[in-house]
Structure 1
């Protein structure tokens, strides 16, 4: 099915074989025939959200398209949408957006490299409508999951916290406050059950710990807003307050208004429990819900640390209930839930240890002396590597080398062989040192060179060794197609053969295949010896 995006259309559903709406005549494919909407999935005061098919992507991927009304919907032009009109893309379209829509684009560009945050795919204006296109995650939000499966168990809450807190740590480390955490904005993916944080339209970029802005006092969702946020005071701790309300709503299957006691100005969530909850988790939730900012958790690492303590305290603490609504003899299912809680909380210990490991990595990266003959900016690359954000660091490396090779290479998205002379070994060595420092000498250009030499200077064997392809029965297969993808500025990865940004093997990153047109590894042999 194709869904007409004209707000004035009275019969928007159309067969997917049509190019124009059979009711109003509007074009059914946006942005040079690239996007075809198939159903509306949301509507609000600023516009509507659609599920769409990206006809130009490999495998025709699903996308989420947000259509913004630059005017009151009641006064919209009733004419059909003429998709043959030229589109206005990028910065020119963004300039017309109001703050709440513009900042979502900016935040997704900044944070979309994280696997649990949707990436920004496109933004454009067409026929006076403004569009934002982002990555689609197949799954239900937690509000839908709550409605379908009932109140969350303690094990599920522990799992949620362990999965979501590292995401909050990432956005806070990038000086962003989400400001609208609630069950509807947390999606559980069907493929790996991982949660994804969406809707950054209310997010705020800050440069310090505490900020006051009365103009943003109404940002967020009633019932989930922290007290200081409703007064226009912006703090990272506001996200933890909203997370706490989200948890107590999920564990009781009640709304915020049902859980808040206005007489005592406190959250009476315990009285609505239907299952036992350990005293350890209760204390964590209570601290998330502290009305005073300085009494609340100040960082995701603090919450993860308490989750780790909860796990290490063992079964005795986990079996100590806040409220015991039923028999004190636990059923086999309740015991299984407690065991699952221990396992999930143990995950928090691993997360905490990983956080400590990231700090050591950050120290190593910070010690690398930045030397650039060409005056290149390595601050973003250093920051990504400090966080072990391999995906973003890989993209940034690619762009830095393109910039070093000159304007022509930047425009093309690859380096013609006759432009290699513009590269300087000093800058390539700086890139290599940063990667090696962040990965304990497992990743980097010199590591790839060493593996190449170990494989007898055979680039096919080297590609297979580092995970850039496979060599079976004498037949070599690369992980990329020969087709160049201009939006991503790289050769397209074959489906199911994308780089491993979670646990990259030695030499796997940064991926430089296709960076120098028509030249396999070692692409930079004429420029630099590692």
Structure 2
């Protein structure tokens, strides 16, 4: 094709790219002064039969007119000409000097949340114009978004509908049909893959692109919830709950549950409680407005209230949190400790006030039912406020859900992800407790992982005592093992070695059974507290 002149006007200079839908060339316009560069896209129908070709030509004419209309937007390439020549269809469009977004979005590279919001907003503003023209792009991905070299603006290219020409064929019934689905796996939602694209299908693609940019992970490498089909991605990056919520809704599996207009998305990004800072918003309860009571889930050996159906998020001031709750619990000391960032003392005080709220009973899977929801709400608000959103039950709860956990279902693997995310579990599975930290190893500093605190110990079947014993047994077991080796090497007395070996087997058996008991009680208590979540949701706090 190089040096070929199309329509006696457009001279092909070089090939820019080739895909399943056709070939793109760089060309010059011989009819204009200075011979400006342009882009020529060649589309070849796969079925040469006359009936199919005529349908393809009609479709090409229709889509070309749409592209010409869209090209009036400064961030969509202008269409200069479209024609058929030699059984091939050609589009001549404005040449955009710059690079596509694969230069900015690629595996291993993460962009900041502020950059992601800016990119998301800019794409949506252009896409809003496209949707207002009653057009669905159908193939949004980094390769189809250019950044102009001169001014840094982005441009949408390669609209998908015209690509259907490539797949047109004749069925056995004599009807024309397309054999291809326009779109790219990973960016294409289920309804589009089924041949029924919606306007919100474009929102799905933009959402996935933004998630890819934030995490540095290719879109086809995210796990999916086996029961819902939802993408699990938040464990890969620290992101504000507000942006996370927007992206989650954009990429919901069921198109009916997504945003149905770009204005909705832009409004949530632009107004209300949204902040680009992942740790600057708090939760409040407007006076006199009833809300669903927080429920609780046991994650690890700590209580995580599931604060569901919260009212609109507002900045939290000291006046929003009463020093004494309706149940008579005084939170002044906890507030003062948190205000001075005495995290360890505040964590201990949290255990104390929760015990008081449970009517003085030990915090276990049964007595925790006694804690009023309003007290859990106050404790959470204090932690969130004075840590700037870094600590708190609601923070833990969101991370717990974001890592793929479900309130009523204990999942070993996703539970590990949660533990690693909040810093309660080391990223290894070997060791005495599988990498899980004891209460003695909790980090009471601001530098701890997001959601690391509060760490509220729950006494489930003597679990606290058991963990302490396990730690001591672990240390003793190591000493016994070392002693066994030394006895065999240096002492030479077989009986000593044998006795040490028997003792070692006994200790390991006890510790192994204890670990099993600890793990079993953990699963049991998790399920029980999750059941409690449903009960607490039936009540209301004021």
TM (norm. structure 1) is 0.46
Report 1 or 2 for greater relative contact order, CA contacts < 8 Å, sequence distance ≥ 6.
Answer: 2
Larger fraction in helix: 2
